[in-house]
Amino acid sequence: MRIIPIISIIFFVLVTLTGCLGKEEISDLALVTAVGIDKGEQENILITAQIARPAEARGDAGAGGGTGEPMWTAIAEGKTIFEAIRNLARFSSRRVYWGHNMVIVISEEIAEDGIVDVIDFFTRNNELRMRTWILVTEEKARDLIPVKTGIEVLPGESIDHLFRYSPIVAEAPKSDAMSLSMGYLREYTHPYLALVNLKSRGIAEGEDMPEFGNLPQAELSGTALFRDDKMVGKLKDRESRGFLWFIGEVETAIIPIEFPEGDGNASIELRDNSFQLTPKYENGEVSFDITLETVADLVELGVPTGKSYDELFTLLEPILEDYIQEDIEMLLNKLQQEYQLDSIGLATYFRAKFPQYWDDVKDDWDELFPDMAIVVNVSAEITNPQLFRLPTKPVKE
Amino acid sequence: MQLEEKLEQDFFSCLQQNVTEIESILGSPSDLVKRDFTIVEQVNLDASLLYIDGLADSDVIENTILRPLLTNEMNESITALSSEQIKQVLTKKGLQVPSISIVANFNDGIDAILAGNALLFVDQYKQAFSLSVQGWETRGIEEPQSDTVLRGPRDGFVESIRTNTALVRRRIRDPRFRIQSMQIGKRSKTDIAITYIEGLVREDLVDEVLQRLNNIEIDAVLESNYIEELIDDSPTSPFLTVQGTERPDKIAAGMYEGKVAIFVDNTPFVLIVPTHFWTFFQTSDDYYTHYTTASYFRFIRYIAFIISLTLPSFFVMLVSFHQEMIPTQLALTIAAGREIVPLPVLIEALLMETAFELMREAGIRMPKPIGQAVSIVGSLVVGQAAVDAGIVSPIMVIVVATTGIASFAIPDYLASVSIRLIRFPILIASGFLGLLGFATTFVLLVIHAISLRSFGEPYMAPYFPFNSRDRQDTMIRKPFWAIETRPADVKGNEQRAGKNQKPSPNKRRKTRYKR
Amino acid sequence: MSTQIRTQISNSILLAIVINIVYAKAIGVTQGAIARQVGADMWIVTILSILFALLMMWVVVIIIKRTPEKNILEQSKVLFGAWGEKIFSALFFLFFLGAYGGVMITIVYHLMDYFLPDVPTAIFIIATTGVGLYGLSKGIEVIGRFAVLGLFSISILNILILFGSLDNFHVHHFFPVMQNNLWSNLQATSHHNSDWAMAILMVAILLPMVKQKEKWNKYTQKSVLIGGGLILMWPLLQVGTLSPEVTGQYIISCMQMARSAEIGLFVHRYELIMIVFFSISALVQVMSCLICASISAKHVVGAKNINKLYIPTALLLGGFGYWIVDDHMRAMHYLEDYWPILSMSIIIGITVLVLLFGTIFKRKLVQRKGK
């Protein structure tokens, strides 16, 4: 066969001509693990990049010198995100590499002006993963990025783990590049992002100690709401928790409730939940029914009581129901009255159920939304007192 | 007179002339023994016995040739008899040698002497007797050095073709077992035998093998690899399309599967054709251990194959092109290890591979105790020092070592070396072109492999092309009670085991009640 | 192997080749185009296309069964004379030339845009066409065996993407079902139909080489169903996990889904492993396309020895591929606006013509067969 030598020549030429194309080895890259986007002077964009120093982050392996810090944080400015990042390269000795970025933090100022450039840049680039967390902070992103937070070596990793491992106390939605671009691109939805803030929660030795520690830590709390690409509002803890029901992220949650008799509290952990949203269309009126059923465990009871569990559960269930209902109603109130923004995607539910009427209402949806009747029905059942056969109560009484 | 012309001559009737001629052809070597004596006392017929010391057994000669001839009184007057009649007389009464044949010219006579026969000349006769008295020092049957098993027969082939065929025949007591012999090599005149079981083997396969063997023109065949290279289907390919083994049980098993074995004298390695790619991952052990264990071992070997073929290339590709694909934690660890390594990862990989090959090669040729020292110094001391000195990264050491160990897990040593060889193009291509290089060279290699044939059989069968019947003994080994048929190579007689061979207590109980 | 003996392939190998030649482009590039046109109905469009392919396959088998020893080009020689054959073969060659553009768009954009953005386009074209040429030199039998490996990779690829995507699957993305009317859905099928057209025309060329004549119908239908099933999983997952809007956003939508897939916490991204399997299947596509083009070229030129045509064909197809791929905008316009129309008219025109003439001049075919 004459073809074999021809093909080997082709490959030889390919290999020799291309040389070392694209050859930047992993040790020649500056691996960004978290990035913050702020507003700089004169409408400029300020990029704060947290870059891992592998030798310090992993110890050993013979690399000497260094400051001992596992990361290096740098700030660059530019008219666009791309320009700012390119400017970063002016003083970064290694090529800035985005493939391992875990977190993008956007400051509130930027978010209010519009984040379409963020969505575009971070989903157009092939290096970035679609599961990068994107958050909004009320403070300056450049203050938040260098903060050593959590137990992990790299702070970016800590925030990543916060998202992944703390669904039980979650008060912020899991917002990644995927959900952001989906919320932005889809026709009748609006994007939302998690809020992150610094709170003094950590404790450092040797300094004077305020009430909650002296070391600022990043905390996920709340939701930032967008109309198209502009941030228009914020949901605080309980509203945000109500919000999670609608985006289907509640798998388990801890509900603190006040014990009705005597002074004390009880905590209840939700186990199996079903959340159903039924659109209705009657006489040109759009309304929604929400049915929420939950089966819960009693995980803490701070009051000694002589009641049996059966009595206790019938006592606690309505309180639990009211609490959950309150969460959702607070959210709906805020969305309908304050922001008049359908962040929870009621439109998609309506459109899926009544495609034939959708054309009638779609143009006025934003006007109709504040006045829609949304009925919330919560039914809770507590079934499991965990290890104790009897409620905690000393026998001596 | 030229040697060729001398060889063409027929024997002379004068005994002395014959002996001198033979001595002159062979150049009167020191190991040529000439024993002159007279037989048949009445006539005192001169006779001369020629043989090569070391090839012929002198005890046998003494006991079966000389003693009977010298002591036996042959009363008959044999001067008038023809040499055929003398042969009759000698074989029936005189000699006690198992096989006697008559040779008439120098060519055959010399061949007989060099093959270890004794040549008996009798004066006045233009023919000579070739007496089979071969007996040279051979190695006893030992456990094979390669292809060792944990459970199973421990006998291995030796350097004598006759012993080897006997070892196989002991495992096949089938009258349809066939041996065809020939000699290959103009000067070496090496004995070659092909064996097969008639009725199981494809007829055209035997013809094909015979034809290819007959086409060989070479002066010497010292080992079966000479034959292997000369009958190979794809001489330019790095893949082995003929398998060689030291194990008689493997050859016997192959023959039951309709294959043809090629025995070569003076080597313990017997060839078997046709060979499929997957047979290099099968050992005799697979059939001597429980089928679940055997299938598990095979699975491990396939993994070893994939690792030894692709792991270094995959690593190089990831580190130098596709860093985003490495999980972040691992990426940091790799980057930390490479922090002070001065070499590009491809060069680092090639360096380590070379070092590894050096250790392997050095370890093989050395005597065993030194070989161990080499591997300890090489792997532990040099490896550790290289990492500490920052010449290579620890991960690269792990990658190369894993690859090396994986390649040793492939049972056939030569096949594993050939896999080691074909790994380098993939490694270099992925070092230069990343994913594109990896994918294209890998596909080139696969296409090459599946286009191969071994004696008419597709090399990658039964997977490419797909043959569901043969898969019962490829990726996994089904239990013997489940493999009812022979592989698809077999011509006729496809049933191998009876129906419903799966043992179960119920069956036995039923029969017991019947009694 | 000598080319004198008519090469034969088994039915199951035909099945593997058919699935491979459709798959690579259909799961990503095509689905993106469909999503831009019909949104969440893209999976319905895919099913409609599969029905179309079933019908066309059936027609092609009917056509070839009239002269089981001759492929469609040889049959057209009987029906329309030597010039008819040449025109038909030229059309076939044109089709595979065009199809090769689509194939190259698929494979190059997968590898280049997502993995090796710095490597020049030409190298991708040369490397893939080079591999295709090598496969070509080994003949259809080897390509068929390689296609079995391709089928195997396709299955693994589907399983991998399924594992990585199911976590984020949202059923409500599918509603409302049939948001467009049937007509606009049917119009959108032309994108996927043009993928199947490649398989159908290839079958029209290769079918006479397939061994068991009586099972032709069964195996071609089976291959469309299996291939269709393997492809259908992608629009379903794309709608469910990516949403049709995001799918439509990207040129290579399947890569976008692979990029978003994750297994557990450690394996954030494993699209590289998927793309290795993908490229095996895509290279089968390259080879099948090349071989069909060279067979058509053989009929155009009237050459006896096909081996000499391999290199010119590969050069021509590779050159065209480079021209298309080099400019992303040109590639997308070509693929979305011109190629479906071109391929649809070639495949429907040829099959209908041959079918009709074959029915009218049945005697002609039978007589030739008798000789």
Q: What is the 3-state secondary structure (H, E, C) of B63-91?
A: HHHHHHHHHCCCCCCCCCCCHHHHHHHHH
Among A338-347, B40-49, B148-157, name the most confident range: B148-157
Which tens digits make up the pLDDT trace of B339-367?
888 888 888 999 889 988 888 888 878 88
pLDDT cut 70: percent of chain A above it: 88
Which tens digits make up the pLDDT trace of B396-426?
999 999 999 999 888 888 888 888 888 898 9
pLDDT of residue A253: 82
Nearest-neighbour CA in chain C from A18: distance (Å):
8
pLDDT of residue C192: 92
Q: Considering only residues 399 to 428 of chain B, which have any Cβ-Cβ distance to chain A shorter than 8 Å?
A: 428
Number of Cβ atoms within 10 Å of the Cβ of C213: 15
Which tens digits make up the pLDDT trace of C132-175?
999 988 888 899 989 999 999 999 999 999 988 888 888 888 87
Q: Is it the case that residue B301 has pLDDT exceeding 50? A: yes
Which residues of chain A have a CB within 8 Å of the CB of B393?
61
Which residues of chain B have a CB within 8 Å of the CB of A20?
344, 432
Domain A247-397 in this protein, CATH class: alpha beta
Nearest by CB to residue C268, choosing from B327, B458, B463, is B327
Q: Is it the case that residue B431 has pLDDT exceeding 80? A: yes
Number of Cβ atoms within 10 Å of the Cβ of C285: 30
Yes or no, beta carbons of C280 and B443 under 8 Å apart: yes
Q: Is it the case that residue B253 has pLDDT exceeding 50? A: yes
pLDDT of residue A19: 56
Mean pLDDT of B313-334: 88
The nearest alpha carbon in chain A to B339 belongs to A27
Yes or no, beta carbons of B336 and A7 under 8 Å apart: no
Whether chain C has a CB inside 8 Å of the CB on B325: the answer is yes
Whether chain C has a CB inside 8 Å of the CB on B446: the answer is yes
Q: Is it the case that residue C335 has pLDDT exceeding 70? A: yes
pLDDT of residue C243: 85
Which chains pack against C, by 3+ Cβ pairs within 8 A?
A, B
Q: Is it the case that residue C1 has pLDDT exceeding 50? A: no
Lowest mean pLDDT among A9-23, A237-251, A310-324, B62-76: A9-23
Contacts of C65 (CB under 8 A, 6+ apart): C213, C216
Yes or no, beta carbons of A29 and B321 under 8 Å apart: no
Q: Is it the case that residue A66 has pLDDT exceeding 60? A: no
pLDDT of residue B213: 93
Q: Where are the beta strands (DSSP E) in A40-184?
A: 45-52, 71-78, 95-97, 103-107, 133-137
Read off the tokens for B58: 């002198």
pLDDT of residue B169: 93
Helices (H), C115-181: 121-138, 140-165
Which tens digits make up the pLDDT trace of C246-301?
888 888 888 888 888 877 766 777 888 889 999 999 999 999 999 999 999 998 88
Alpha-carbon distance C343 to C199, whole Å?
A: 12
Alpha-carbon distance B452 to B434, whole Å?
A: 27
Q: Considering only residues 104 to 143 of chain B, which have any Cβ-Cβ distance to chain A shorter than 8 Å?
A: none
Question: Chain C interface residues facing chain B, Cβ-Cβ under 8 Å?
Answer: 10, 12-13, 111, 115-116, 119, 123-124, 127-128, 130-131, 134-135, 138-139, 142, 144-146, 148-149, 266-272, 275-276, 279-280, 283
Q: What was the ipTM of the complex prediction?
A: 0.90
Mean of the per-residue pLDDT values of chain A: 82
Lowest mean pLDDT among A110-114, A125-129, B314-318, B468-472: B468-472
Nearest by CB to residue B324, choosing from A7, A64, A127, is A127
Q: Is it the case that residue A310 has pLDDT exceeding 90? A: no
Number of Cβ atoms within 10 Å of the Cβ of C24: 29
pLDDT of residue C164: 85
Q: Of A250, A238, A346, A343, which Cα lies nearest the Cα of A292?
A: A250
Q: Is it the case that residue B37 has pLDDT exceeding 90? A: no
Which residues of chain A have a CB within 8 Å of the CB of B387?
62
Q: Is it the case that residue C233 has pLDDT exceeding 90? A: yes
Whether chain B has a CB inside 8 Å of the CB on A396: the answer is no
Confidence of residue B219 (pLDDT cuts 50, 70, 90): very high
Nearest by CB to residue C133, choosing from A3, A129, A248, is A3
Mean pLDDT of C213-223: 89
pLDDT of residue A17: 62
Interface with chain B: mutation pick from C137, C142, C148, highest number of B CBs within 10 Å: C142
Confidence of residue B246 (pLDDT cuts 50, 70, 90): very high
Q: Considering only residues 423 to 442 of chain B, which have any Cβ-Cβ distance to chain C shorter than 8 Å?
A: 433-440, 442
Mean pLDDT of A354-366: 83
pLDDT of residue B221: 93
For chain B, what are the domain ranges?
3-131, 161-275, 289-458
pLDDT of residue B156: 92
Which residues of chain A have a CB within 8 Å of the CB of B441?
11
Q: Considering only residues 121 to 150 of chain C, which have any Cβ-Cβ distance to chain A shorter than 8 Å?
A: 123, 126-127, 130-131, 133-134, 136-137
Q: Is it the case that residue A202 has pLDDT exceeding 80? A: no
Which residues of chain B have a CB within 8 Å of the CB of C12?
466
Burial of B32 from C-beta contacts in 10 A (0-12 / 13-18 / 19+): middle
For chain A, what are the domain ranges?
23-235, 247-397
Instruction: Provide the angle, in degrees to the nearest 10, between the axes of the packed helices C11-25 and C140-165.
Output: 50
pLDDT of residue C151: 92
Q: Is it the case that residue A29 has pLDDT exceeding 70? A: yes
Yes or no, beta carbons of A131 and C245 under 8 Å apart: no
Which tens digits make up the pLDDT trace of A147-162?
877 777 787 888 888 8
Mean pLDDT of A222-228: 88
Number of Cβ atoms within 10 Å of the Cβ of A292: 21
Yes or no, beta carbons of C134 and B444 under 8 Å apart: yes
Q: Of B392, B383, B399, B384, which Cα lies nearest the Cα of B340?
A: B392
pLDDT of residue B79: 57
Which residues of chain A have a CB within 8 Å of the CB of C243?
182, 185-186
For residue A75, list its beta bridge partners.
Answer: A48
Yes or no, beta carbons of B447 and C271 under 8 Å apart: no
Confidence of residue B378 (pLDDT cuts 50, 70, 90): confident
Lowest mean pLDDT among A28-37, A367-376, B68-77: B68-77
pLDDT of residue B493: 65
- Dihedral in degrees, nearest 10, Cα atoms A110, A114, A115, A120: -140
CB pairs under 8 A between A and C: 79
Lowest mean pLDDT among B248-257, C2-11, C243-252: C2-11
Residues C103, C107, C113, CA angle at the centre, nearest 5°? 135
Nearest-neighbour CA in chain A from C119: distance (Å):
6
Q: Which domains does chain C possess? A: 11-363 (1.20.1740.10)
Mean pLDDT of A238-251: 83
Q: Of B426, B487, B416, which Cα lies nearest the Cα of B458?
A: B487
Q: Considering only residues 35 to 64 of chain A, which have any Cβ-Cβ distance to chain B shorter than 8 Å?
A: 52, 54-55, 57-64
Number of Cβ atoms within 10 Å of the Cβ of C71: 21
Q: Is it the case that residue B242 has pLDDT exceeding 60? A: yes
3-state secondary structure of A203: coil
Interface with chain B: mutation pick from A14, A24, A27, highest number of B CBs within 10 Å: A27
Which residues of chain A have a CB within 8 Å of the CB of B319?
25-26
pLDDT of residue B510: 52
Whether chain A has a CB inside 8 Å of the CB on B326: the answer is yes
pLDDT of residue B508: 56
